[in-house]
Amino acid sequence: MDLQALGLHWDSPPGRTFLNHGSFGLAPRELLQWRFDLLRAIEGDPVHFLTQELPLRLAETREALAELVGACPEQLAFVPSTTYGLNELLQRLPLLESGLPEGSEILLLGHGYNATLNLVRFAAEQRGWIVKLVELPWPLEDASQVVDAFAHAWTQRTRLLVLDHITSPSALVLPLEPLIAMARLRQALVIVDGAHAPGLLPLWLDRLQPDAYVGNLHKWLCCPRGSAFLWVRRCWIERLRPLVISHGANAPELPGSSRFHLEHDWIGTADPTPWLALPGRCGCWSAKLQPIACSAWPPTPPGPNGARHGCNRPSLRRASRWLVLPHRFSRIWRWRRCHCRHLHSWMACACSSSLINRAFKFL
């Protein structure tokens, strides 16, 4: 991959290539142009756009998102950020599940993301739940050590795991499959904080099957800030209400729409362009970046529903081509002896990747 050529698609000052998409993301120039054009069009007639066009455009974009994350559109909703999506899930949890009485234990990583830790503590205080932080051995040699650490912290009262897909301060990819399998066996719920995963990892939520997953589109997928998604298991679709209750609560349910989408698509007047700017939907810029970026995804895994996932993967690879640092996080990273305490430098922890090494050399 020619990083220099790729970097030209962003408006960084001369001589600098911005690699830290993990903090707040950065959209490429062509995408910004696409977004400004759309904003101008909206300003031409905001009432028409927001009431007539937006619902259709969001439904189409959700279809494209579903392909990208290996999911069904019915189970997906746009949210402004991972923080928002996790707040919705944690604060609405009693609406979703009755099996979390006072004294239930929630497990999450001790070195998780501060905002998520705060949220879990807040939700626990409200409901009388107990937060237990799981510490991982250091240095970490093997994914099974993560599973063992959670198994070790488990008690009869453990009811919920809140798992980072990629940890913020250490760039570990948690082994979600065995952790979810363990939770299923022991009848606990799993909510995944996938803030960093879209764009860095191939996602196949239909196969992963946590109880809920939240991911950012504005970090490694380079959408404008304010773009994230929420995925929930089917039986939660009808029970999950957004944190902001608005028109969708009693808007007529037309064929093809659902209360879940009506409520999530409108949480008050806002700029909808970050949600609409999904790659593939605004084809102007992805095609330009295609020839210069590499496709680093693992091969298509065989799926239970071959046709659906057969068509997921090519589009996922297409999308991956314009990522800033597409990378194969196919195994858990050896925890490097580098003390990156801040989210902003989390990428440095993953520098065993030849791709990222090259990026650093380039800098």
Ligand X SMILES: Cc1ncc(COP(=O)(O)O)c(C=O)c1O
Applying CB under 6 A, among 136, 183, 191, 195 the residue interacting with ligand X is: 195
Name which of 23 and 246 has its Cβ closer to ligand X: 23
Name which of 82 and 320 has its Cβ closer to ligand X: 82
113 binds ligand X (CB under 6 A): yes
Name which of 38 and 192 has its Cβ closer to ligand X: 192
119 binds ligand X (CB under 6 A): no
Q: How far is the CB of 193 from ligand X (least distance, A)?
A: 5
83 binds ligand X (CB under 6 A): yes
82 binds ligand X (CB under 6 A): yes
Cβ-in-10-Å burial (0-12, 13-18, 19+) of 106 comes to buried
Name which of 118 and 357 has its Cβ closer to ligand X: 118
116 binds ligand X (CB under 6 A): yes
87 binds ligand X (CB under 6 A): no
Largest interatomic CA distance in the chain = 59
Q: How far is the CB of 288 from ligand X (least distance, A)?
A: 26
- Tell me which residues in 322-361 interact with ligand X (CB under 6 A): 343
* 213 to 242: interface string for ligand X, x by CB under 6 A: ---x--------------------------
193 binds ligand X (CB under 6 A): yes
Name which of 219 and 309 has its Cβ closer to ligand X: 219
Q: How far apart are CA 118 and CA 48, in angstroms?
A: 40
170 binds ligand X (CB under 6 A): no
- Give the contacts of 149 (CB within 8 A, at least 6 positions apart): 134, 135, 136, 137
Q: How far is the CB of 349 from ligand X (least distance, A)?
A: 12
129 binds ligand X (CB under 6 A): no
Query: What does the binding site for ligand X look like in residue numbers (CB under 6 A)?
Result: 81-83, 113, 115-116, 164, 168, 193, 195-196, 216, 343
